[in-house]
Structure 1
Amino acid sequence: MFRTHRTDDQGETRTVQKLRARLAESHQLHDLTSDPLLHAVRLERFRVSVTRSMWFFLALGLGFTTTGVHEFLAGHLTPAAALWWGAWLVEPALAGILVTLLRWEAEMLSRGLAVDAAPVVWLKRLLLGATLVTNVWSSLRPPSGRVEYGVVFLHVVVPLVVFLIAEVMPVIQHRCNAARDRVMATAAPMPTIGATASSAPRPALKLPSHLQAVLGTKAAQVREQGRAITPADVQAAVNVPDAFAAQLADQLNAA
């Protein structure tokens, strides 16, 4: 005896209904995962993750080089000398300047501004060059008088790695931002936010619903202050390039 599948009023079996539901879900997932702004958000999160990792390893490298700088300045002294204690502050001070400079570079690059001015480049090279020289010198002239070639190798490689990390980080920022902007430039147009399609003077950016909600909340707060929405207000709510922020601000003000 053959077993038959149950059917609904339209003559579809349960298997067909399940496949139809899966197909509908697949279409919805494809529409969501292929949204350019979703890719832009993923790129931004990836940039933040890579940047944090680079900061972490940069801090580890600077922690190692601190011992070399101290050895160079006060390796022949004892803790009874004031310089022995003060020497521990030299490399953290230099590293603090470098970290502050790198943070400024990252912020400027995230806004699409170049940071290749000669004083900036030379300041980074001076800070990292001083770290390299002091570390190598202290390893070649240890207080014990015995040169350990493994220690010399580390005191050469680690400062060089720190130097290259400092040079690579702006490149990472720039390329990730360029990739994000390229993805956002492919965003399909949609009706103006807060207005009907017929009233839109020009195509608008396509924003996911959660970003529209965040932007709408920010727009309401600005309107309560009795002023027009600016690109800075838009960027305070959502992370978008300047051109897109200006367009969104015009759309919200028109709406």
Structure 2
Amino acid sequence: MMTASPPPGEPREPTSQEIARALDETERYVAAHAPPAPPEPAPLYDPAQGETKRVQQLRAEVAEAHLLAQLQDDETPLLLDTAKVRKRRKKAGEAARLHALAQDPTMRAWRATRMRRLLVAVAMLSLTLALGWSTAGVQTFAAEDALVWSPGWVFAWLVEPFMSLALLVVVGARAYLSTLGQPIESRTLVRIEWLFLGLTLGMNAWPYLPFVVDTFSLSRLVLHILGPIVAVAIVTALPIILAAFTRLDVGLPGNPLTTARYWGNAAAGHLAGNPSGNPSEVDDIEAKAAQIRAMIAAGNLPEGAGVKKIRDALGCRMSTAQAVRDRLAEGGGWNLTVDEEYR
């Protein structure tokens, strides 16, 4: 349908097509120049996944708790040794082996020999120093009023050394032979030792005695007699100590002074008969066997008494008691087990 055009000079009304076209152009312009819309926030509940993050975290915690509850009933981890337990067990095993080694007769003999050598060395060193300490006192006594570096003053220094060397010869010989189990029992050597020590003590103490000096000083007297006193103590004590080491029993077979504790383990049966072939030993064992038979007949000992009871009854060594037991066993009636033997 055609519309009538307006008179000249008057505005014309737009048609509906023109209005629609203008609106389309306006929408396109606005769409082209409009700012981008902000993104929409992600919903907590995603229907596509079916669970939220919070639900997933809680589900994981619950599953972990169920697994922990099941594993807590398993005690296998408690049976495993930690590094600290293994370290402590290693130390305990080492201590046990060292203790067992210390009870071995060979180890006891080695320790005793090493200690004896150490004591002898220290004693001889102390004796040498003590005699050297007294050298100055003896020189003062021997020099008297001699001038310094005069012949009398110089030779006075030699008095103590030659006495000390003579004394060390005697003490060293007695000490060495004592370590071999053959101590020198000589009163002559003892008198020689005391003679040298008495001379050393007297010469050190004489210049400082109360009736010799004008002003007596106890400290000076003690200081000068200290060396001889130490020498006397060492000379007296060293033979006693070495004799004790000689009598020391470590449990080795063949030791003539073996105690009951070690002989039964180290040398059982070693002296059951008469290993040396000495007739006196045979007679002695036979006499002791007869004595044990009398004790059994009197009711003082039970039938089939063990080695320990025989030893206690006779007051003898374990080796002797064992030999007596073996002699009694020759007639029967002494068939003891290993556990009963030393009861």
TM range (shorter): 0.5 to 0.7
Of 128, 132, 135, which residue of structure 2 is paired with 1:66?
135
1:135 positional shift: 1.0
Q: How many equivalent residue pairs? A: 185
- Assess if the C-alpha contact under 8 Å between 2:177 and 2:183 holds in 1: yes
Q: Does residue 1:120 correspond to 2:185, yes or no?
A: no
1:101 positional shift: 1.3
Residue 32 of structure 1: aligned partner: 101
- Assess if the C-alpha contact under 8 Å between 2:183 and 2:243 holds in 1: no
Separation (CA, whole Å) in 2 of partners of 1:168 and 1:88: 28
Provide closer, same or farther for how the CA distance between residues 142 and 90 of structure 1 changes in structure 2, counting only shifts above 3 A. farther
Higher relative contact order (CA 8 A, sep 6+): 1
Residue 83 of structure 1: aligned partner: 152
Separation (CA, whole Å) in 2 of partners of 1:73 and 1:21: 66
Q: Which has the larger radius of gyration?
A: 2
Greater shift, 156-165 or 32-41, is seen at 156-165
Separation (CA, whole Å) in 2 of partners of 1:142 and 1:110: 45
Residue 228 of structure 2: aligned partner: 159
Of 73, 81, 100, which residue of structure 2 is paired with 1:15?
81
Separation (CA, whole Å) in 2 of partners of 1:62 and 1:121: 18
Provide closer, same or farther for how the CA distance between residues 110 and 77 of structure 1 changes in structure 2, counting only shifts above 3 A. same
- Assess if the C-alpha contact under 8 Å between 1:75 and 1:143 holds in 2: no
Q: How well do the aligned residues superpose, as a CA RMSD in angstroms?
A: 3.2
Separation (CA, whole Å) in 2 of partners of 1:97 and 1:106: 14
1:106-133 per-residue CA deviation (whole Å, 9 max, x = no partner) reads: 1111121131211111110110011011
- Assess if the C-alpha contact under 8 Å between 1:62 and 1:162 holds in 2: yes
Greater shift, 81-90 or 39-48, is seen at 39-48
Of 166, 169, 174, which residue of structure 1 is paired with 2:238?
169
Residue 310 of structure 2: aligned partner: none
Residue 76 of structure 2: aligned partner: 5
Provide closer, same or farther for how the CA distance between residues 77 and 115 of structure 1 changes in structure 2, counting only shifts above 3 A. same
- Assess if the C-alpha contact under 8 Å between 1:58 and 1:165 holds in 2: yes
Separation (CA, whole Å) in 1 of partners of 2:150 and 2:94: 73
Match of 1:113, SS state, is coil
Residue 111 of structure 1: aligned partner: 180
Separation (CA, whole Å) in 1 of partners of 2:233 and 2:118: 19
Of 201, 206, 229, which residue of structure 2 is paired with 1:137?
206
- Assess if the C-alpha contact under 8 Å between 1:76 and 1:143 holds in 2: no
Residue 55 of structure 1: aligned partner: 124
1:188-247 per-residue CA deviation (whole Å, 9 max, x = no partner) reads: 149xxxxxxxxxxx8xxxxxxxxxxxxxxxxxxxxxxxxxxxxxxxxxxxxxxxxxxxxx
- Assess if the C-alpha contact under 8 Å between 1:109 and 1:170 holds in 2: yes
Provide closer, same or farther for how the CA distance between residues 149 and 22 of structure 1 changes in structure 2, counting only shifts above 3 A. closer
Greater shift, 50-59 or 117-126, is seen at 50-59
Q: Which structure 2 residue ranges, 5 or more long, are not aligned?
A: 1-67, 253-257, 269-274, 276-343
- Assess if the C-alpha contact under 8 Å between 1:68 and 1:134 holds in 2: yes
* Percent identity of equivalent pairs: 26
- Assess if the C-alpha contact under 8 Å between 2:134 and 2:225 holds in 1: no
Structure with greater proportional helix content: 1
Separation (CA, whole Å) in 2 of partners of 1:136 and 1:21: 61
Residue 44 of structure 1: aligned partner: 113
1:85-107 per-residue CA deviation (whole Å, 9 max, x = no partner) reads: 01101101111111121111111
Separation (CA, whole Å) in 2 of partners of 1:24 and 1:153: 54
Provide closer, same or farther for how the CA distance between residues 163 and 6 of structure 1 changes in structure 2, counting only shifts above 3 A. same
Separation (CA, whole Å) in 1 of partners of 2:139 and 2:91: 65
Match of 2:76, SS state, is coil
1:32 positional shift: 1.9
Q: Which structure 1 residue ranges, 5 or more long, are not aligned?
A: 8-12, 191-201, 203-255
1:25 positional shift: 5.4
Amino acid at match of 2:137: G
Separation (CA, whole Å) in 2 of partners of 1:28 and 1:52: 31
